[in-house]
Amino acid sequence: MSISTRSGRSEPTSANVWLPLFAICRGMQLLNVVAGGTLVQDIPTALATKLVHRRPKPPRVKKTAAHAIDVAPQTRLAALLGGHSSGGGHVTVNSRHHQAVKTVAPGFVVSATAPDGVVEAIERPTASLCVGVQWHPENYWRSGEFASLFEGLVAAATAHRNRRPGHA
């Protein structure tokens, strides 16, 4: 399955086969829509909030903190964040989006929100790993602050591969 985007590219999805998946920013939005959810098209014009979600990134400083998020306890995201938020709690993230999840797709749950209620992460609890985050954890590669999210994806993909018939 693929979706034609306004950029003219096709973007493959694993929503119909539920391979391990970690979606970032627009990827989370795409995952939600493909799975049957909807989006707020423009946060500044659609929601009464003073929290800035589309913070311009200074040159070469992509991990500049924008706001905190509240991670729901006992979610896959909380488990992946471990020491940051194992039982839920606050995590500070960068932010560069103007769209957000409006209606969460069936079978998904909200696993993090901004202080203004904007959805910052979703997940499918029944999947081996299907987590989407609205911020950019890849920008923290030097500090390793969110490395556990990528490590979780690798572990889930390895486990998925090892469950395939004929794989030793």
Catalytic residues: 25, 136, 138
Which residues 6+ apart lie within 8 Å of 166 measured at CB?
none
Paired sense of beta strands 130-133 and 21-24, if any: parallel
Q: Tell me how far the alpha carbon of residue 54 is from its chain's centroid.
A: 16
66 contact partners, CB below 8 Å, separation of at least 6: 52, 53, 55, 93, 94, 95, 96, 135
The amino acid at residue 107 is G
Distance between CA atoms of residues 143 and 133, nearest Å? 18
Q: Which two tokens stand for residue 3?
A: 């979706």
What residues contact residue 25 under an 8 Å CB cut-off, 6+ apart? Answer: 96, 97, 133, 134, 135, 136
User: Taking the CB of residue 60, how many other CB atoms lie within 10 A of it?
Assistant: 5
